[in-house]
A and B are shown apart, each in its own frame.
Chain A
Amino acid sequence: MSARILTRANPSVLKQYLSRAGSSPTFTRSTRAAVPCASIFTLRSPLKPPTGKLYEGHIPISPLQRTILAVGSAFTALANPLRGDMVAALGETTSGIFLNRIRDQMLQDPEGRRILRERPVITSETMQLDTLRQLPDGTFGREYVRFLDDQQVSPDTREPVHFVDSEELAYVMQRYRETHDFYHTLTGLPVTVDGEIALKWFEMAQTGLPMTMLSSFFGPLRLSSEERERLFNVYVPWALENGSTSKLLMNVRWEEWMEKPVEEVQRELGVQPCPQV
C-alpha cells in the first residue's frame, strides 16, 4: 500500500521512521509556501515579503525589514531587557533554519511527534493552575505553580509569534517560549539575570538557536565581575554538560509530567539540578 505525504520536513528524517512501519510511502516536499531558510539557492527580492499571512498574528515582512528588525531589536533588547516584544522579535527574526532543525528533531521522537500533531498550548486554563496548586509539595506541578506565584507571572503573558514564515515553525517557536518556565522549575535556576543567562547557555546546548547564542555571549556584559565569574565557573559548565546530554526538552509533554516528583522528572530527562551557590 502506498500513501502520499506532503511535508516540508527533511526527507531523510522521515524515511527513518516511516520505513519501520513496513510500507514505503512516497512523499514529496510541499512547495506551497516559500521555504523559510537562508539558502543562496532561494534568492528572494529583499523588498517583498515571501509569503502572505499564514496564521493568526503573522506579520509577513520582507528580508530588508527582517534585517533591520533583527539589528534594531538586538540593540534594544540589550539596552532594555524589559522590552519583551523586542526580545521576542530578535528570537523570531534570527531563528531562520534553526527552527527547521528543532522541528526535525521533534519528528524523530514519538512524544515530539505527538506534540506537533496535537499542538497543545500552555495558558493558565489549559494548565489548570488551581488543580496544580492542590498537588503535594515536591511534585513538578506544585513546584511550577509555586515558581509562578513567587515571580508573580502567568503563562498568559508570552508575546505571540509574529515573524516566522511558516505555520508549523511558528508553533515550534511558540512552544519553545511557553515551556521556558518549565525549564526554570526543572533546573532550579532562579529568575535573576545570571540565572536567565545560565538557562540560555543550557538552551543553546539543546537547541542551537542564534537567539540563545546572542544572549549567552552578550548577556554577561551586563553582569558584575563576580556574577560573571560565578556564571562561567559554575553555571556554564553545568549548563553545557546537562544541555547536551539530556533528552531534548522540546519533546517533553510537560502537561503529563505534572504529578511526578521533581527528582524523578530530572532523572528521567537526564538533567541534574543546578549547583546551588
Chain B
Amino acid sequence: MASRTALQQLSRRATALATLAPSRTAGFSTMTKVLHQHNTNSNSSNNSNKDTSSNQAETHFGFQNVPENMKEALVKQVFANVASKYDIMNDVMSGGVHRLWKDHFMRTLAPTPGTKLLDVAGGTGDIAMRFLDYCKETHGDNTASVTVFDINPNMLEVGKERFTKTPYHNTQQVSFMEGNAENLEHIPDNSMDAYTIAFGIRNCTHVDRVLKEAYRVLKPGGRFMCLEFSKVENPVISKVYDVFSFDVIPTMGQIVANDRDSYQYLVESIRKFPPQKEFAKMIKDAGFTVMGQGYEDLTFGVAAIHSGFKL
C-alpha cells in the first residue's frame, strides 16, 4: 500500500517526466558542440591562412579529431557521466564476461605476498579488489598493498564506496590517488612491484608517455600488465562484434544510463586503439622486456593482456 500511494504522489509529477534530461548528458553534448565549432573555425582559418602546419596537434576522440589538449577534458566528461552506472553497464555490455577477463588477468599477474601494486585507471576498483583477494586467498597474506590511481574523481568516489563494503576498508592495504597517468610525479622512481592498467590506456592522450612513466616507477624486476580491448582477427566474429558494438551498446547505454554519446565514444575509441602487435612494440620501445609475443588474446581478441618486465 505504501508503495502505491508513493507512486501516486510520484505520478503527480507525471508531466514533469521529461525534466529527466540530466545535466550530465547536457554537459557532454555541450562539449561536442564546442568541438564542432572548433572544427569549423579551424577549417575556415586553415583555408584563409594556407598554413600547412597546425598550431595544435590533433588526436582522435572516438572517430572525431580533436586538439590534443581537449581530449583529456572530453574523456573526463565521459567518465564523469558514466561513473555511477559504470559497473552495471560493464555487465550489460559484456554479458558479465569482463569479470572472467579480470579474474584471468589477476591469475596471470600471480602476485606474491607483500607486492606493492599501482593500479592505474583503477577507478571503481575491480582490479584492486581482485588483487587483494588473490593475495589473501592464495597466500593468506595481508601485507600486499594497492594504490588505486585515476584521473577522474567521480570514478574514484565509486571505488571508495565499493571498498567500504570489503574487509580492506580503512586498512593500509588500499589507498586512492587522483592524478594523470602521463605524469606520476608523486610516485618515486623504482618504487612499485607491479603496475596494472585495465581498460584505461586507450583513453590516454599520449600512450607512450604513460608507458614511460610506468617504466620509471617500477622496480627492476617489476611487471607491467595491461588489459585492454583489442582487435578481433577472425572476420566472422569481427562482423558480429562490430554490429554488437555499434548497434547494441549505444542503445543499451541509452536505455540503462540515458547516455548514448558516452558509449558511442567508448566503442569508437576501441577501434582507434593500436592492435595487439603494434601495442606490444610500443611497450618494447618504452624499455620493457616482453616474453614471446608480449600479449595474450582473450575472447578471440575482443580483449588482450599485454605484459612486460623491467629488467
A and B co-occur in one complex: yes
Q: Is B183 an interface residue (CB 8 A)?
A: no
Q: Are A84 and B11 in contact (CB under 8 A)?
A: no
Contacts A47-B243, A69-B255: A85 and B20 contacting too (C-beta < 8 A)? yes
Kindly identify, within residues 147 to 201 of chain A, every residue whose CB is under 8 Å from any CB belonging to chain B.
Answer: 151-153, 157-159, 180-181, 184, 191-193, 196
Residue of B nearest to A199 (CB): B14
Q: Are B247 and A64 in contact (CB under 8 A)?
A: yes
A159 to B20, CA, bound (A): 8
Q: Are A224 and B255 in contact (CB under 8 A)?
A: no
A86 to B21, CA, bound (A): 11
Q: Are B16 and A222 in contact (CB under 8 A)?
A: no
Q: Are A153 and B251 in contact (CB under 8 A)?
A: no
Chain B residues, Cβ within 8 Å of A86: 255, 258
Q: Are B247 and A68 in contact (CB under 8 A)?
A: yes
A83 to B18, CA, bound (A): 7
Q: Is A89 an interface residue (CB 8 A)?
A: yes
Q: Are B247 and A151 in contact (CB under 8 A)?
A: no
Q: Are A81 and B14 in contact (CB under 8 A)?
A: yes
User: Which of B2-10, B63-71, B80-88, B128-136 lies on the face that meets chain A?
Assistant: B2-10
Q: Are B252 and A158 in contact (CB under 8 A)?
A: no
Chain A residues, Cβ within 8 Å of B14: 81, 191-193, 196
| Closest beta carbon of chain B to A79's beta carbon, Å | 11
Q: Are B4 and A224 in contact (CB under 8 A)?
A: yes
Q: Are B15 and A72 in contact (CB under 8 A)?
A: no
Candidates B12, B15, B251; contact of A69 at CB < 8 Å: B251
Chain A residues, Cβ within 8 Å of B4: 224
Q: Are B254 and A151 in contact (CB under 8 A)?
A: no
Q: Name which of B12, B14, B21 has the most chain A CB atoms within 10 A of its CB.
A: B14
Residue of A nearest to B5 (CB): A224
Q: Are A153 and B16 in contact (CB under 8 A)?
A: yes
Q: Is A40 an interface residue (CB 8 A)?
A: no
Kindly identify, within residues 127 to 169 of chain B, every residue whose CB is under 8 Å from any CB belonging to chain A.
Answer: none
Contact with A along B200-234 (1 / 0, CB 8 A): 00000000000000000000000000000000000
Q: Is B34 an interface residue (CB 8 A)?
A: no
Q: Are A47 and B247 in contact (CB under 8 A)?
A: yes
Candidates B7, B18, B247; contact of A157 at CB < 8 Å: B18
Q: Is B50 an interface residue (CB 8 A)?
A: no
Q: Is B24 an interface residue (CB 8 A)?
A: no
A64 to B242, CA, bound (A): 13
Candidates B11, B18, B254, B258; contact of A158 at CB < 8 Å: B18
Interface range on chain A: under 10, 10 to 19, 20 to 34, or 35 or more?
Answer: 35 or more
| Closest beta carbon of chain A to B132's beta carbon, Å | 35
Q: Is A59 an interface residue (CB 8 A)?
A: yes
Kindly identify, within residues 231 to 266 of chain B, every residue whose CB is under 8 Å from any CB belonging to chain A.
Answer: 243, 247-248, 250-252, 254-255, 258, 260
A76 to B248, CA, bound (A): 16
Chain A residues, Cβ within 8 Å of B8: 192-193
Q: Are B21 and A191 in contact (CB under 8 A)?
A: no
Contact with B along A80-106 (1 / 0, CB 8 A): 011111111100000000000000000
Chain B residues, Cβ within 8 Å of A47: 243, 247
Kindly identify, within residues 114 to 169 of chain A, every residue whose CB is under 8 Å from any CB belonging to chain B.
Answer: 151-153, 157-159
Q: Are B243 and A181 in contact (CB under 8 A)?
A: no
Contacts A83-B258, A152-B16, A158-B18: A193 and B11 contacting too (C-beta < 8 A)? yes
Q: Is A272 an interface residue (CB 8 A)?
A: no
Residue of A nearest to B17 (CB): A84
Q: Is B55 an interface residue (CB 8 A)?
A: no
Contacts A69-B254, A73-B255: A84 and B19 contacting too (C-beta < 8 A)? yes
Residue of A nearest to B239 (CB): A47
Q: Are B255 and A72 in contact (CB under 8 A)?
A: yes
A122 to B17, CA, bound (A): 17
Chain B residues, Cβ within 8 Å of A158: 18
Q: Is A239 an interface residue (CB 8 A)?
A: no
Q: Is A250 an interface residue (CB 8 A)?
A: no
Chain A residues, Cβ within 8 Å of B186: none
| Closest beta carbon of chain A to B8's beta carbon, Å | 6
Candidates B20, B251, B252; contact of A83 at CB < 8 Å: B20
Kindly identify, within residues 1 to 45 of chain B, every residue whose CB is under 8 Å from any CB belonging to chain A.
Answer: 4, 7-8, 10-21
| Closest beta carbon of chain A to B28's beta carbon, Å | 14
| Closest beta carbon of chain B to A228's beta carbon, Å | 12
A196 to B251, CA, bound (A): 27
Q: Are B15 and A81 in contact (CB under 8 A)?
A: no
Q: Is A246 an interface residue (CB 8 A)?
A: no
A-B contact pairs, 16 of them (CB 8 A): A64-B248, A68-B252, A69-B251, A81-B10, A83-B258, A84-B16, A84-B19, A151-B13, A157-B15, A157-B19, A159-B17, A181-B15, A191-B11, A192-B12, A193-B7, A222-B7
A69-B251, A84-B20, A157-B17 are known; give 12 further A-B pairs, CB within 8 A.
A47-B247, A64-B247, A69-B254, A69-B255, A85-B254, A87-B17, A153-B19, A157-B15, A157-B18, A157-B19, A184-B15, A192-B14
